[in-house]
Structure 1
Amino acid sequence: MSYAFLLAAIACEVFATSMLKSTEGFSRLWPTVACLTGYTVSFLALSQAVKEVPVGVAYAIWSGLGTAAIVAIGAAFLGEPITLIKVAGIGLIVAGVVILNVGGAAH
């Protein structure tokens, strides 16, 4: 169940981060409400996940997958360019998450 909470936390964080641009500096009410709600639900779900998943591993997965998803969303929907450097950076993030998971399982 903890990993279900972690996936929910990632989904809510990705949603909230995707909403940031539309808040226009938190000057638009409904996008701001949606963004802040997404972050709130994300942290609530993450707090439930870390009851059983080691906090370092949970945070690495949460931040790493969230970052990778935001890069993909930026490229697909916001017209942000995908460069070789960005792809390499995401690869390193994913590799770091995998290494932390393998190391976390060993303890």
Structure 2
Amino acid sequence: MAGLREGLERLNQGLERAGESLRRMELRLGLERALGRAGVSGRHMEAVMGMAMRQAEVDTGASAEELVLRVRARQPGLFAGGVRGGLEGASERGGLGFGRAGGGG
């Protein structure tokens, strides 16, 4: 009976780790899409991705778009055109790429 219990506990732990890994992969895919829409250049993509993933550890319920906006608020220079250019460029493109249609998020 004890062996069965230990086996089930190990199985449960493995499933929890697999679920966490899947959540991280889903978040990473969502962040890649959101960063592309937000105008992050290829050379800054990994830096911003790392910041957003660290932010996700704190804001566990935040969406990918919310995480990108938080990183943008702290590091606007990593986004296309920097502080002014990134926001102006986004408004010329019809917004940041998420939020309501035609809006800026």
Bin the TM-score by the shorter chain. 0.3 to 0.5
Q: TM-score, normalised by structure 1?
A: 0.34
Higher helix share: 1
Larger CA Rg, structure 1 vs 2: 2
**Which structure is richer in relative contact order (CA contacts within 8 A, separation 6 or more)?**
1
